[in-house]
A and B are shown apart, each in its own frame.
Chain A
Amino acid sequence: MNVHMREDMSLHSMRADDGIAKGEELLKVDNISLSFGGVKAITDISFDIRKGEIRAIIGPNGAGKTSMLNVINGFYYPQEGTITFRGKRRRRVRPHETAREGIARTFQNIALFKGMSTLDNIMTGRITLQKRNMFWHGLWTGPAEREEIEHREAVERIIDFLEIEHIRKTPVGRLPYGLQKRVELGRALAAEPALLLLDEPMAGMNLEEKEDMSRFILDVNQQYGTTIALIEHDMGVVMDLSDRVVVLDYGKKIGDGTPDEVRNNQDVIDAYLGVPHEEA
């Protein structure tokens, strides 16, 4: 009998295995259209995300990238189309339910709990994994306490991993921007997600911070096998990090493939990288 061990049990121990092998389809977006009143944000977009890959979504400002992420995690309900996640097909879903199913995310403008410490922020990431109800929390002893300690250990491992031990007790509102981004990544990781959505994880960072963040993203992907979908503007970063890229423009998909394929796609060059002058 072939007993397959997962790479690392320390971070990925609690979510039920979904039986999807690496490289198979984890999430599929089919013919999604989304509009706000008369404004079409997304028009008939389809693509897939395979287990274990880093999938980038790129496009100029207003292309519909963040809207797409919001559709995937349930903040927006698309008017048309379906999303299949781990074999479950759906149109409408609530954000706290997608979180429970294993989709974690970060935000473009950082949505941390500013008044809470780094530790508490990351602990909230584990809320979907904590099974004891409020009654036990009220009593605080016994099962609830054991559970709390167990989750605290997992959170400490994430804190070590992201090298943020020194700010463990600091209220995150006081942290510099780059560290806040890192804490937000930590909170998303704490949920042990099957799919991690990162909305511009490197926006506003300096070169050194960008290199750190790239390293963390690669480590998460390689060590823990977490599937990642990310939106990023820094082309160099996108091309280096991602396995496959989907390109949006004005709410439509104009390219999809490996970084090299996308780089040589004429539509993408025209729309996004700029139209080259024939004469020049």
Chain B
Amino acid sequence: MSPAILNFIETCLNGLMAGVMYSLVALGFVLIFKASGIFNFAQGVMALFAALTLVGFQTGQVPFSHLINAIFGTDIHHWGGGMPTILAIVLAMGVMVLLAFLLERFVLKYLVNQEPIILFMATIGLAYFLEGLGDLMWGADIKRMDVGLPSGGSFWWEDLTRAWAPADADYYGMYIDTLDVSAAIIAAILVTGLTLFSQYTATGRALRAVADDHQAALSVGISLRRIWVIVWSLAGFVALVAGILWGAKSGVQFSLSLIALKALPVLILGGFTSIPGAIVGGLIIGVGEKLAEAYVGPLVGGAIENWFAYMLALAFLLFRPQGLYGEKIIERI
């Protein structure tokens, strides 16, 4: 194979890996949107908050230490040795479930049957609240996320692919980050798990029922409030996974909350109501971005990656506003 083809393959592979990360964020949006029609602007911040909490537990930070120090003049920041990663993950998940519960209890309950725009505004409020809470609890410094995932380039893959090019070619093999590979595997497991859960269990059936028709769901005895707690917990779980993987990739910092913006074009491509759509949309955006950067970028001076996804989304809005897999909305007039 010529190096040109190999470079193309490498770009695509890296694009797929990046796409998986976008899909993960988009998945959280789809879960909530399907079940309750709420576009959850706070999904990105939830990922940030989950990552902050996980690192905080793992390294043994004292929550609200800045606040405590400011009030009592103390100087505490850590309570000791931290805890095993697994325990920290479980506890962080517990915090996300608690968050879902409190959210239902104090916010969503009062907004039943409101206009979607009002619920959307509520999630913007939630985003700011969570960002502030995360700052107050765990501090604003950039933290390292280390949950034991491998990272760095894969030498094995590099050596393997070098041999694919002709011996005399100027080619040094493909670069693939092992962290991206583990992220893709974890995302695949997560999506499979969620799909099996929703297809083959009674709770999953209840979730699908609520997503389909609220009134009918009530009539068979499904409590909407309970389902919302479950849905937001699941979205919190997805946010935690996304937070771990993004955090491991680029550090746990507050700009993490902006990955939500990357999910928007993914959702427009895949449709707001489709889990497969979120995945395929993410992959298309990821690959498209990298290919555009590699092949169109040099012609226009680069940095295409930052806006290419939005251009693609705009094109989709013109020709297929319901996305690839979304439900076509046909209004009767």
Contacts and interface: CB of A to CB of B under 8 A. Distances in A.
Given A137-B204, A138-B197, A112 B213 contact: yes
B216 A123 contact: no
Contacts of B216: 107, 111-113
Contacts of B222: 96, 99, 124, 127
Nearest to A197: B219
Interface residues of A, number: 36
Nearest to A173: B212
What size tier do the contact residues of chain B reach? 20 to 34
Contacts of A57: none
Contact of A75 (B197, B200, B202, B218): B218
A128 B217 CA distance: 11
Contacts of A174: none
Interface in B300-321: none
Interface in A48-103: 73, 75, 94-97, 99-100
Contacts of A75: 215, 218
A130 interface: yes
B218 A191 contact: no
Given A99-B221, A115-B208, A128-B221, A137 B203 contact: yes
A134 B200 contact: no
Given A111-B216, A138-B201, A140-B201, A127 B208 contact: no
A134 B203 contact: yes
B215 A96 contact: no
Q: Which of A124, A127, A132 has the most CB of B within 10 A?
A: A124
B122 interface: no
A116 interface: yes
Contacts, number: 91
Given A111-B213, A114-B213, A191 B202 contact: no
B206 interface: yes
Interface string A232-257: 00000000000000000000000000
Interface in A106-132: 107, 111-116, 120, 123-128, 130, 132
Interface string B171-211: 00000000000000000000000001100111111101100
Nearest to A100: B221
B165 interface: no
Interface string A259-277: 0000000000000000000
Given A115-B212, A138-B201, A73 B219 contact: yes
Contacts of B196: 140
B292 interface: no
21 contacts: A94-B218, A96-B223, A97-B221, A105-B219, A111-B215, A112-B213, A113-B213, A113-B216, A113-B217, A115-B208, A116-B205, A123-B205, A124-B209, A127-B206, A127-B222, A134-B203, A137-B197, A137-B203, A138-B197, A140-B196, A148-B201
Interface of A: 73, 75, 94-97, 99-100, 104-105, 107, 111-116, 120, 123-128, 130, 132, 134, 137-138, 140, 144, 147-148, 151, 187, 191
Pairs of residues from A and B, 5 with the lowest C-beta to C-beta distance, nearest first? A99-B221, A111-B216, A137-B201, A128-B221, A113-B212
Given A99-B222, A144-B202, 7 more contacts: A96-B224, A99-B219, A114-B213, A130-B202, A132-B202, A147-B202, A187-B220
